[in-house]
Amino acid sequence: MRPSSDPLPIVFVHRGNSAYLPFTLAQAKLASLSSPVVLLGDRTNNQFPFVTHADMSAFAEQAAELAKVYKHRSPNGAPYELFCFQRWFILRDFMRANSLERIVHVDSDVLLYVDVNVEQRLWRDYDLTLVRGVCAGNMFVNRRAAIEDLCDWIWDLYTSADSDAKLDAIHAWRSQTGEGVSDMVALKAIYDANRSRVAEMTGVRDDDSYWDANIHLAEGFEHDGTIKRIRYHDRLPYGRHLASARDVRFKALHFQGVAKRHIEPHFRQGCPATSSSIAA
């Protein structure tokens, strides 16, 4: 096990060489200079000199087994939804192989604006953190056992004797809101079963900061009808919190779905000009 004083690894899991990927990786590095930024990727995205690249195929044995038993119950495409589940097995096996107990997992469409080594101290008494009880866009993992439990829950969902009945029941109530069976179901189940061990990051913090769940959602902030209205001060993003009439600093921005096209412009607004070459 690595000493707790070691810089916290920031881990991304991503397939392909998406146009926005250099900017989310670079922003994570700029925000936490002492932390290694790790990309569990593939041969198409092994090209960033400031990133530690690891081929995810080396950690995909059980992820491949999951593909054999996966049953699709989602309006999203099957390859996309399957990979959302598989990534947790890839992450778990990477942590096992490297004897890692503590990391922060960041989705590849998230711009991160905090030093995770400072921020982690606020959550060190928890095994895991989530946003809105279901989102792992920025997730502090303080004990690998929490990811082990998540993988066990997912595996049981697809391999237990009553798997079809469980999936049909989940799909029935999720379909009422236009959703299907996704890894958020598993994350919510882990959260509900371990409220004392899984922290909820949602809400305006005491220092007037906020973890964005999804930039499409207003969440009580000024909104332009499509995404939150963001302003930059000292290279950090702020939004006007309507109930308190205060400017609140965002610790991360999650550009989910079609909002990914906003990643590069937001990176360049908040990035010092001398550092823009990192993601050039």
Q: List the helix and strand counts (H, then E) for the chain.
A: 8, 12
Q: Which fold has domain 10-200?
A: Spore Coat Polysaccharide Biosynthesis Protein SpsA; Chain A (3.90.550)
Q: What is the pLDDT of residue 273?
A: 55
pTM recorded for the entire structure:
0.94
Residue 279 has a pLDDT of 56
Tens-digit pLDDT string for the chain (280 aa): 344 568 999 999 999 999 999 999 999 999 999 999 999 999 999 999 999 999 999 999 999 999 999 999 999 999 999 999 999 999 999 999 999 999 999 999 999 999 999 999 999 999 999 999 999 999 999 999 999 999 999 999 999 999 999 999 999 989 888 889 999 999 999 999 999 999 999 999 999 999 999 999 999 999 999 999 999 999 999 999 999 999 999 999 999 999 999 999 999 998 765 454 555 5
Instruction: Identify the pLDDT of residue 270.
Output: 87
Q: Which residues contact 39 (CB under 8 A, 6 or more apart)?
A: 12, 14, 25, 45, 48, 51, 52, 53, 54
Query: What ranges do the domains of the chain cover?
Result: 10-200, 209-279
- 132: three-class secondary structure by DSSP: coil
CA dihedral sign, ordered 280, 255, 113, 57: negative
| Pair of tokens at residue 55 | 């081929």
Question: In sequence order, which ranges of the chain are alpha helices (DSSP H)?
Answer: 21-31, 61-69, 78-97, 116-119, 144-159, 163-174, 183-193, 263-270
pLDDT value for 4: 54
pLDDT for the residue numbered 184: 95
Query: At which residue do the structure tokens 């002492």 appear?
Result: 34
CB atoms within 10 A of CB 210: 25
Token couple for 141? 């993992």
